[in-house]
Amino acid sequence: MLLNDKVAVITGGASLNGLGFATARLMAEHGARVVVLDLAGAEPAAAAAKLGVGHIGLVADVTDKASCEAAVAAVIESFGRVDVLVNNAGITQPRKTVDITGGDYDAVLDVSLRGTLYMSQAVIPAMQRRRSGSIVCISSVSAQRGGGILGGPHYSAAKAGVLGLARAMARELGADSIRVNCITPGLIETDISKGKLTDERKAEIAQTIPLARLGEARDVAGACLYLASDLSTYCTGITLDVNGGMLIH
Ligand code: NAD
């Protein structure tokens, strides 16, 4: 039990095949009280109920500062503390550079980058009061290698922005004993890519990956658990690749 009695908030955590829900499940198995935070349409309360008793689901839009603050206030009211934040909410769009509209840019950057900032801002005061906390930000291999497989350049930019934001927060918040780290997943089979790749294309991609398979949500959940737990107490500002060797650098 690596997270006994810790309170973990996971944004975008209600997608049952997604990285967030796999992380929620693993953290719950490790003793955390989990807060699944997601858009109303994703039904976070129903997702939280699947984790068992003692976990809650909250509706929040990470692009809306007031919504993030209200959600964290509700967490404090229910549990009195926040130990772990996983900034997982994200969307992607397949676009060529010249086709990215202002609206596309706003949509993709707002969820991953603005959302990471707003949710971090919302939990930091509570973490500072306890002089303890772990913030895990989900970036992407797309930020490191100039595109993953599916997202356009604006997605790469959003995820590169997450790396920069997380590193700067790590430097600033170290004095408060708050750790901030990133995970850069490779291609993981979730709803984000559902129906967008044929089985033949997936097999071709797998051949280019040293571990010879696409990732599974639990591969990323394990990395989140490590960064959230006391196993990683001297890690801050790091980028943990979970990509099967797709990018070795
Ligand atoms: P997913 O689509 O299954 O889950 C994303 C979740 O984010 C959904 O539950 C969605 O409702 C939620 N969300 C979207 N906008 C939101 C908002 N404004 N406020 C709150 N929640 C919101 O996708 P996934 O594959 O599990 O992706 C999770 C994260 O991992 C994303 O940040 C994604 O960019 C990143 N990532 C995924 C992969 C991959 O291959 N699956 C690779 C690298 C990075």
pLDDT of residue 194: 84
For residue 200, the SS3 value is helix
CATH code for 7-241?
3.40.50.720
Tens-place pLDDT, residues 163-176: 999 999 999 999 99
**In whole angstroms, how far apart are CA 135 and each of 64, 89, 101, 123, 167?**
19, 14, 31, 9, 11
Q: How far does the centroid of ligand 1 lie from the alpha carbon of residue 159, in Å? A: 12
Q: In the chain, pLDDT over 70 holds for what percent of residues?
A: 100
Name every residue whose Cβ is closer than 8 Å to that of residue 15 and which is 6 or more positions away in sequence.
21, 38, 42, 47, 190, 191
**In whole angstroms, how far apart are CA 163 and each of 69, 75, 116, 215?**
23, 26, 10, 21
Q: What is the DSSP letter of 32?
A: P
138 touches ligand 1 (CB under 6 Å): yes
Q: What residue owns the CA closest to ligand 1's atom 2?
A: 192
Which residue, 133, 112, 87, is CA-closest to 229?
A: 133
Residues belonging to the active site: 155
Which residue, 71, 70, 76, 89, is CA-closest to 10?
A: 89
Rounded to two decimals, the pTM is: 0.99
Residue spans of the domains in the chain: they are 7-241
Distance CA 49, CA 57 (A): 8
Q: 56 burial class (0-12, 13-18, 19+ CB within 10 angstroms)? A: buried
Residue with tokens 């603005």: 114
pLDDT confidence tier of residue 27, bands split at 50, 70 and 90: very high
Q: For residue 148, is pLDDT > 90? A: no
pLDDT confidence tier of residue 14, bands split at 50, 70 and 90: very high
Q: How far does the centroid of ligand 1 lie from the alpha carbon of residue 180, in Å? A: 19
